[in-house]
Structure 1
Amino acid sequence: MALHFELVTPEKLVLAQDVHMVVVPGAEGEFGVLEGHAPFMSTVKDGVLKVYDRDGAEPRLIPVEGGFAEVSEAGLTVLAEKAG
């Protein structure tokens, strides 16, 4: 099973795929999201998303600036002011 992850900016859908885990730079500190995570919302601070395609893989690093992250039954959506 995998976590469905979407990264969206006001201009475009940057990434939409199933991944193992994403680490998000939240306003209160970094948090990791795996499939089945409890639903919640958080603001995102300027930093780097770490996207792990599979367990044990090196993360892809995606710079982001501000926004919100929402974890739901559908997966993780990060709405960033800027990404990439």
Structure 2
Amino acid sequence: MPLHFELVTPEKLCRSDDVYMVVVPGSEGDFGVLEGHSPIMSTLRNDATLDIYATQGATPEKLTIAGGFAEVNEKGLTILAEQVVEAV
């Protein structure tokens, strides 16, 4: 089953889709999130890169974000980013 992933900034919902995995740049270190991950909240590092894997073994899509929060719950992963800077 895929992981539901949403990327949100104060201005808009930037992305909402199902993916295989996202590697999140947490303030205490990077962590990978797959479907069924335990609930967690984390602050995000500034000017860090999200790695988004559409499918298992795929080349990741890389997005640079500027700070914010990540929340994993039973509905999936939500990244609340201060800003999406650019695709890497």
- 1:73 is the counterpart of 2:69: no
Query: Who is 1:37 aligned against?
Result: 37
Paired amino acid for 2:77: L
- Deviations 1:25-82 (Å, cap 9, x if unpaired)? 0000000000000001000112000000000000000100000000000000000000
Q: Which consecutive residues of structure 1, in runs of 5 or more, have no partner in the other structure?
A: none
Query: Which 4+ residue blocks in structure 1 deviate beyond 2 angstroms?
Result: none
Query: Who is 1:7 aligned against?
Result: 7
| Structure 1 segment 41-60 matched on structure 2, within 5 A | 41-46=41-46, 47-60=48-61
Query: Who is 1:82 aligned against?
Result: 83
Paired amino acid for 2:52: V
CA RMSD of the aligned region, Å?
Answer: 0.5
TM-score, normalised relative to structure 2: 0.94
What percent of counterpart residues are identical? 61
Q: Which consecutive residues of structure 2, in runs of 5 or more, have no partner in the other structure?
A: none
Paired amino acid for 1:23: V
Query: Take 1:62 and 1:18, find their aligned partners in 2: how far apart are those partners?
Result: 16
